């Protein structure tokens, strides 16, 4: 699309109009985009066309010139409602864009609306009391994942080519797996968060969602790069990630389907990882079963997550306790009960997990494991009732494969791998392989993912209208 615009074969107005038509056709069933600004988007497209016609030459236009995007509804957008999926902020319209949005717009992208999220981005199933539930474009009875579920569903259904998101315990990787697109959690500090209530925290990162790795890298190249207002931001310029190259030599691959038996994984997920693993073998890469030592990751994540929610949402909760879903209220209350000793222990454990990750990636270039432990579950549930036949006791109890990786401090992405066969219920649902790279090795990880993507069988995009469940 970007090349067509640069050559003058398609205008930004035509491109935005085509996507608005697709949104009108498909979004009512999906509920992926919850605030739409078509008049503003078309006005910006018209200005983009004037800029293009005034001086079109190769490399003269910004990297996302004329491309329509949606912004996650937890990211502040000037002049566009930002609700965080909560009735507390249902009518808030910010005065300024936050940094990730400002960078996307400065790169020439045109914001067409906001993508749906769970309440305050809490949970890997996208539903809230303001807008309702986002559905999976592969099966309208199933969850699109979360918390970037509206973003992933929008990209998978062709409503937009690119979307932004954020990830604490899988919020970019889980919905990408559920919807059959690519989603990346970059190294903390790779995409600076400004403003940020806890600017030194590395728990939550912002990142890109796209239909494939090349597009993922394109968006990362725009949103990455240092900013002195973010104390953990990394120095590498964003442009460094625009065109990842192939791996320099033989790739050493570790495979941990169930983390040495430490987590439950549905059989359909394990089977869905097989195409990615077999593709790595066909490429001649060294593939073996190996799992990093993640002892302490569970305690560290649950403690630090509760602390972050209690700190960031405590004031809203005290003012409007009745407007918070029970699971989020419980997490805030747990954060308030934490002792200094518990917080200190969590920080120590996280540090130990990171150091063991550094050692692990001295022997391997990439880890392949599940992005989600279950296939997309019925959208009527808050979370899946079971994983691999065992009951799930709370709304975090099915996400260890994602949030344990968060504790490693490494870049990770979900790459579409296989599809369900129907043995566990529905057939044709996507399964994502989570690829984890060495600390700060975002560019190498993108190169490995690109090579693996090219070796995988062709992708299946959602039919429209979707087939009847079980058909």
Tell me which residues are annotated as active site.
72, 147, 171
Sequence-ordered list of residues with C-beta below 8 angstroms from that of 79, at least 6 positions apart, any chain: 40, 93, 94
Sequence-ordered strand ranges (E) for 89-243: 110-115, 127-128, 132-133, 135-136, 139-143, 162-167, 182-185, 205-210
Q: Give the integer Cα–Cα distance in Å for 29 and 74.
A: 22
User: What tokens appear for 356 in the block?
Assistant: 């063991």
Strand-pair partners of 159:
none
Q: Are strands 412-421 and 427-437 parallel, antiparallel or unpaired?
A: antiparallel
Please give the distance of CA 206 from its chain centroid, rounded to a whole number.
Answer: 8
Q: 3-class SS at 255?
A: strand
Q: Are strands 139-143 and 182-185 parallel, antiparallel or unpaired?
A: unpaired
Which of 180, 177, 175, 134 minimizes the C-alpha distance to 158?
180
Sequence-ordered list of residues with C-beta below 8 angstroms from that of 81, at least 6 positions apart, any chain: 35, 91, 92, 93, 114
> Residue 31: left if φ>0, alpha if ψ -120 to 50, beta else—which one?
left
User: What tokens appear for 55 in the block?
Assistant: 């001086």
Sequence-ordered strand ranges (E) for 144-232: 162-167, 182-185, 205-210
User: DSSP assignment, residue 195?
Assistant: S
> Residue 51: left if φ>0, alpha if ψ -120 to 50, beta else—which one?
alpha
Q: Give the integer Cα–Cα distance in Å for 432 and 174.
A: 8
């Amino acid at each position: 699309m970007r090349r067509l615009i640069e050559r003058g074969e398609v205008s930004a107005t035509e491109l935005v109009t085509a996507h608005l038509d697709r949104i009108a056709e498909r979004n009512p069933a999906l509920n992926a985009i919850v605030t739409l600004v078509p008049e503003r988007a078309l006005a910006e497209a018209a200005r983009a066309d004037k800029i293009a016609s005034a001086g079109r030459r190769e490399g003269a236009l910004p990297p996302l010139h004329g491309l329509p995007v949606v912004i996650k509804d937890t990211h502040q957008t000037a002049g566009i409602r930002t609700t965080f999926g909560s009735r507390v902020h249902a009518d808030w319209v910010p005065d300024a864009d936050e940094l990730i949005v400002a960078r996307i717009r400065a790169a020439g992208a045109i914001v067409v609306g906001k993508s749906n999220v769970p309440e305050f981005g809490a949970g890997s199933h996208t539903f809230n009391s303001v807008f309702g539930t986002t559905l999976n474009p592969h099966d309208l009875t199933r969850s699109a994942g979360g918390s970037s579920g509206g973003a992933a569903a929008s990209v998978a259904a062709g409503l937009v080519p690119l979307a932004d998101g954020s990830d604490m315990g899988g919020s970019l990787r889980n919905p990408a797996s559920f919807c059959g697109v690519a989603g990346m959690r970059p190294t903390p500090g790779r995409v600076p968060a400004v403003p940020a209530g806890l600017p030194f925290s590395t728990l939550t990162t912002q990142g890109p969602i796209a239909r494939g790795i090349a597009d993922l890298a394109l968006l990362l190249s725009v949103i990455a790069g240092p900013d002195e207002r973010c104390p953990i931001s990394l120095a590498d310029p964003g442009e460094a990630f625009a065109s990842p190259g192939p791996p320099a030599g033989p790739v050493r691959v570790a495979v941990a389907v169930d983390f040495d038996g430490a987590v439950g994984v549905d059989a359909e997920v394990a089977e869905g990882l097989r195409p990615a693993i077999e593709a790595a073998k066909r490429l001649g890469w060294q593939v073996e079963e190996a799992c990093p030592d993640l002892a302490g990751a569970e305690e560290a994540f649950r403690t630090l997550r509760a602390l972050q929610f209690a700190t960031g949402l405590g004031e809203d909760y005290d003012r409007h306790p009745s407007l918070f879903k029970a699971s989020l209220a419980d997490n805030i209350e747990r954060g308030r009960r934490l002792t200094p000793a518990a917080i200190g222990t969590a920080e120590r454990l996280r540090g130990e997990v990171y150091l063991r990750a550094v050692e692990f990636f001295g022997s391997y270039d990439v880890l392949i494991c599940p992005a989600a432990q279950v296939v997309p579950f019925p959208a009527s549930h808050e979370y899946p009732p079971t994983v691999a036949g065992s009951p799930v006791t709370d709304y975090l109890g099915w996400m260890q494969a994602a949030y344990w990786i968060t504790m490693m401090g490494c870049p990770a992405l979900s790459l579409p791998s296989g599809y369900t066969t129907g043995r566990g219920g529905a057939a044709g649902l996507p399964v994502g392989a989570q690829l984890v790279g060495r600390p700060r090795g975002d560019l190498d990880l993108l190169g490995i993912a690109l090579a693996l993507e090219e070796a995988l069988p062709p992708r299946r995009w959602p039919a429209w209208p979707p087939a009847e469940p079980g058909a």
